[in-house]
Structure 1
Amino acid sequence: MQTYLSRRGAFLLFAVIVIAWGLNWTITKTLVQSVTPLWTTAFRSGIATVALAALLFARGEMIVPRRGDLPVVFVTSIFHLVAFSALVAYGLQFAAVGRSIVLGYTTPLWVMPAAWLFLGERMTPSRSLGMALGLAGLTVMFNPLAFNWADVNTLAGSGAILLAALCWAVSIVYVRAHRWISTPFQLVFWQMLLATVVVSVLALLKDGVPHPAWSAQLAGLFLFSGIIGTALANWAMSTANRSLPAVVTSLGLLATPVVGVASSAIVLGEVVTADLVVAMLLILGGIAIGTIPRREKTPAQKHAPLVVES
């Protein structure tokens, strides 16, 4: 069932997506203070799996993946929904949200050279410039004069977030090469189900049976993250993407780190330093220059998979 919105409706829906994804980083930072990173990822994935199943059944889009789509289900689930999500949750134990979300959104910078190496995509001057600006932003973030290299926890947290970004890049590059049979949204449930099983087993082996101190606030944060920030956001993104130009969605997603930085400052009282602002502008500017499409996507390209936040 295809859903098309008016331009105004699509913009409003897209704004909700960006806000939800930006807030999700601050929410995850709060969750990992009460629940281990692996169980945080498992609980959120489980809630999202149930919500996605209900949504797909309600829309009549629940399917069993065809054999040709099984590799993309596996790769996306393991590298994005398991590795990326768990590493981000681990990193947020130690690193500030503002710093983490900017590092997490360096993913497109790693996709550019990987796509050139493995998919034969041209490394155009704009992509080279975008890479240079993004790396300059990372240099600002890890400037010895501004970064405390003696802080082992912050260093480990930042390293985990960067590794998460690389895992996400692996998923994106594979997704670009995949020949889709079903729509990406129809497969998200199966990706999330596999991720829930895998990360739950890992959490049980590493952390044992969880005993969180449940409260209305903790339950509410998990429900928001799983239902709004993951399940409904994926549906909303697939809907908005069909109703808005590709350049709008590509540029609009760059607002997510800005929302994350702002929410962490307002909710958690994190200090937004000058070097973080400069680094964010350089990295997001580099992504915009290097990855924004220069022309409208064809209908076939509109069917291509989206960037999925988790």
Structure 2
Amino acid sequence: MASADLSRREAALLLGVVVVAWGINWPVGKALLHYLSPLWATTLRSAVGTAALLAICVARGRLILPRRGDMPVVLCVGLLHMTAFSLLVSVGLQTVPAARSVVLAYTTPLWVVPGAFLLLREPLTRARAAGVMLGLAGLALIFNPLAFDWHDRAALLGNGLVLAAALCWAASILYVRAHRWVSPPFELTFWQALLATCVLGVLALRQEGPPQLRPEPAFWLLLLYGGVFGIALAYWALTTVNRALPAMATSLGLLGVPVFGSLCSALALGEPLGPPLLGAMVLIVGGVALGTWKGPGAQPAGRR
């Protein structure tokens, strides 16, 4: 179905599919680490997603060669978002609960706001400034300096890596906002995923050698879900939604990912959703909503 043929209701339903797919993808990524190292889990999931994106592009007649003007955005999204973000999150998930990780990862818009003000000269409205402060209050509630075990180096590293992933995603978004597009965004998604897969594959082979693939059906189901639904179909659906709904509606709709992801992690992995995490979720999601609601000139891009 072409995006121009989508009704608002159909686009909203498709956006709901993206929220569900990415929400489930967080406990799936955590479970996949039971079978693979973070590096190989990220690499193989990226490879499956790349193959599925290739199939979608061929089936829809949208496979193109990137033009010269496309290369900077292919490199930026492929390396910062699809490689660095995915790998840092996967490593962080070894020591950080999936519910906490998804909330930390979706602080990305909070870092985009000051970055857009400093680098892109986008206006810093009162609503955006208030949204950042509300989100930072949520971060403080998650970490709770008085209760956090500062001697637990693994926990410090894990939380730091997920926050670093959010910063990488924010940097990718900032460049995507400033980029002058030559080809449509979706036509470049396959090449961005292919670049990420190649970089991750070389790193994985050099650092760890060939992967030890497991015969259990659960392993293959997790891998297929992460690649097909978490990468390929979600990116295709989001690109379709972006062309049918206002950017603001899409941005606010994606705030459902950390909420749904946290609930899925609690149900699937038995992770507790205590008052601090629930309160932080409300503050961060509310901060992002406040910072993006009716913000002039905001064009969200490069989402995950």
Relative to the length of structure 2, the TM-score reads 0.96
Is the 8 Å Cα contact of residues 250 and 292 (structure 1) preserved in structure 2? no
Greater shift in the superposed pair: 146-155 or 126-135: 146-155
1:30-45 superposed matches below 5 A: 30-45=31-46
Partner of 2:203 in structure 1?
202
Partner of 1:141 in structure 2?
142
Q: Distance in 2 between matches of 1:177 and 1:152?
A: 37
Is the 8 Å Cα contact of residues 132 and 287 (structure 2) preserved in structure 1? yes
Q: Distance in 2 between matches of 1:305 and 1:130?
A: 16
Q: CA deviation at 1:245?
A: 3.1
Q: Distance in 2 between matches of 1:30 and 1:125?
A: 41
Partner of 2:277 in structure 1?
276
Cα distance per residue 1:221-274 (max 9 Å; x no partner): 111110111101111111122222333212110010011100011000000010
Partner of 2:244 in structure 1?
243
Q: CA deviation at 1:213?
A: 2.1
Cα distance per residue 1:41-68 (max 9 Å; x no partner): 1101111111111101111111101100
Query: Mind listing any 5+ residue stretches in structure 1 that lack a counterpart?
Result: none
1:52-63 superposed matches below 5 A: 52-63=53-64
Q: Secondary structure at the match of 2:243?
A: helix
Q: Distance in 1 between matches of 2:198 and 2:300?
A: 23
Partner of 2:84 in structure 1?
83
Partner of 2:188 in structure 1?
187
Among all aligned residue pairs of Structure 1 and Structure 2, give the percentage whose two residues are the same amino acid. Answer: 52
One-letter amino acid of the structure 2 residue matched with residue 307 of structure 1: G
Partner of 1:171 in structure 2?
172
Q: Distance in 2 between matches of 1:152 and 1:76?
A: 30
Is the 8 Å Cα contact of residues 40 and 204 (structure 2) preserved in structure 1? yes
Query: Mind listing any 5+ residue stretches in structure 2 that lack a counterpart?
Result: none
Partner of 1:286 in structure 2?
287
Cα distance per residue 1:100-140 (max 9 Å; x no partner): 11100011111111111111111111111111111111111
Q: Distance in 1 between matches of 2:205 and 2:81?
A: 20
Q: Distance in 2 between matches of 1:293 and 1:74?
A: 31
1:119-138 superposed matches below 5 A: 119-138=120-139
Q: Distance in 1 between matches of 2:249 and 2:273?
A: 27
Partner of 1:231 in structure 2?
232
Cα distance per residue 1:158-214 (max 9 Å; x no partner): 111000001111101011110001011000000000000001111111112111323
Greater shift in the superposed pair: 211-220 or 164-173: 211-220
Q: Distance in 2 between matches of 1:21 and 1:78?
A: 20
Partner of 1:107 in structure 2?
108
Q: Distance in 2 between matches of 1:119 and 1:112?
A: 10
Q: Distance in 2 between matches of 1:34 and 1:153?
A: 20
Q: CA deviation at 1:294?
A: 4.6
Q: Secondary structure at the match of 1:243?
A: coil
Is the 8 Å Cα contact of residues 146 and 275 (structure 1) preserved in structure 2? no
Partner of 1:50 in structure 2?
51
Q: Distance in 2 between matches of 1:59 and 1:305?
A: 25
One-letter amino acid of the structure 1 residue matched with residue 124 of structure 2: M
Q: Distance in 2 between matches of 1:113 and 1:89?
A: 26
One-letter amino acid of the structure 1 residue matched with residue 114 of structure 2: P
Partner of 1:68 in structure 2?
69
Q: Distance in 1 between matches of 2:294 and 2:216?
A: 45
Q: Distance in 1 between matches of 2:168 and 2:96?
A: 19
Q: Distance in 2 between matches of 1:201 and 1:305?
A: 31
Is the 8 Å Cα contact of residues 173 and 303 (structure 2) preserved in structure 1? no
One-letter amino acid of the structure 1 residue matched with residue 84 of structure 2: A
Q: Distance in 1 between matches of 2:105 and 2:60?
A: 32
One-letter amino acid of the structure 1 residue matched with residue 97 of structure 2: A
> Over aligned residue pairs, what C-alpha RMSD do you find?
1.6
Q: CA deviation at 1:292?
A: 2.8
Partner of 1:308 in structure 2?
303
Cα distance per residue 1:281-308 (max 9 Å; x no partner): 111111111123357x8xxx9xx67333
Q: Secondary structure at the match of 2:123?
A: coil
One-letter amino acid of the structure 1 residue matched with residue 11 of structure 2: A
Q: CA deviation at 1:12?
A: 1.7
